[in-house]
Structure 1
């Protein structure tokens, strides 16, 4: 192993030790400050982009709030017609843990593709909603794919799909569009907890109901499986170190009752008021200090 690779491996090992889901031994322990991304009342703080529609045209009330949940509905659709949609959180992140509770309900929209039955997901390291082309189908991003069981064969969840992207698995560039996780199948209308650990352009891990089910490295632009994007958007091989988070509309009704995030980037100076022991990436420009008397 070269010196540079050895240093990189040591740094990655240190980062992973800090972000384990167990206790972290630090000089000064601080409780994890999870933030809710959805207020349970309205869609404030989110932007909507549906294929063929202008930014924030919530076509036929696709995204809405019902009973304190963010839901995706198609009761006003005559036909889906590949009008894929995404609802984007307005803030971008680089290092974080994401936790989402979701479930599939009801019947698929008319003319929804077979592959999209009980199919949704969350996109991470994505482009902004405003940068999407009017007729673009999916944001260039890394998709953590949610699937529901059909009672016929195994159908894992928290899989990986890659619209306009590639990743590295076991040291090899992986260009396949979708890769299954090792999760069990979750059938019916049961709630499932999906978690994602995102560490800049180095590592991403998927968890389903607390079990690690997939891991990969070096998310980057490349490949196909996306159309309608603005010219020049895709730069093959460009690493994705940060980006948007968005939830999908792919023709099957889905509900989200929890969408929350733990930022892992910020002030790492223990002398600052806003120091957090669990931060794994320093941004000490954000440090706030107590005024000297």
Structure 2
């Protein structure tokens, strides 16, 4: 009798173990503490800087929130006049994942630069908005390009997305310091006004990784100041260390109407 009871207890214990839910990726993902940088209501926590304008001057109401979207709008512009703009988040970050959902919509403002057609950017490890000079075009930063495909007279022209550009900076690619201003990713081309999800994984002054719709398309290391650049020269610390291990996050206004419906960050441990 005792033997039968022991067998029954063992069987019940085994069934209980098997019925326990496994710890899967969905549970781990739900436990991640993603912080919403854009609240869907207003520009709280963000500051504007346009070339030629004082800090905080939202030129032509270009950056705005409508219908729950953060919009870069040019409907108050008659013609492009060279006033590049940037919208800075208030805090600096070092180790993180940044996830953004965006789309290009509408037509480029009249006389906008050809290269700026359906062009925006995530400016990472950037200088502060306060430190930008009055007539400075772009913050010294690592730019993760957001690009839409172009429609030429002969059809569609391929254009990779989530490339990297380096205003006032340099990066290391495959172990070699590169001073080339922009480097292309391995992504497909995105045409039209569809929403695109991009993610950048940043590890301080070490590694950057770019993802488009979950697919890694580019990686590089050692973001650093370019000592040849007049604006970067003023940001290099006294010890001469060129590596940039943290900085601001900003988005651009450079003649292409753009919508953002999500800008969120997951802070990583160092």
TM-score w.r.t. the length of structure 2 is 0.84
Please give the secondary structure, in 2, of the residue aligned with 1:115.
Answer: helix
TM-fit CA distance, 1:60: 0.6
Please give the secondary structure, in 2, of the residue aligned with 1:60.
Answer: helix
- Select 1:170's aligned residue among 174, 178, 181: 174
Question: Separation in 1 of the partners of 2:46 and 2:88?
Answer: 5
* Native 8 Å contact 2:112 2:255 kept in 1: yes
- Select 1:221's aligned residue among 225, 244, 253: 225
- Residue 196 of structure 1: aligned partner: 200
* Native 8 Å contact 2:118 2:148 kept in 1: yes
Structure 2: which 5+ runs fail to align? 1-23
Question: Separation in 2 of the partners of 1:230 and 1:48?
Answer: 20
Deviates more, 1:200-209 or 1:149-158: 149-158
Please give the secondary structure, in 1, of the residue aligned with 2:130.
Answer: helix
Q: CA RMSD in A?
A: 2.1
Distance 1:230 1:153, change over 3 A: closer
Q: Does 1:43 align with 2:43?
A: yes
TM-fit CA distance, 1:232: 2.2
Structure 1: which 5+ runs fail to align? 1-21, 265-278, 282-293
- Residue 124 of structure 1: aligned partner: 124
Question: Separation in 1 of the partners of 2:226 and 2:233?
Answer: 14
User: Paired residues, what number?
Assistant: 240
Question: Separation in 1 of the partners of 2:241 and 2:199?
Answer: 26
Question: Separation in 2 of the partners of 1:148 and 1:161?
Answer: 16
* Native 8 Å contact 1:133 1:230 kept in 2: no
User: Based on CA coordinates, which of the two structures has the bigger radius of gyration?
Assistant: 2
TM-fit CA distance, 1:71: 0.4
TM-fit CA distance, 1:111: 1.8
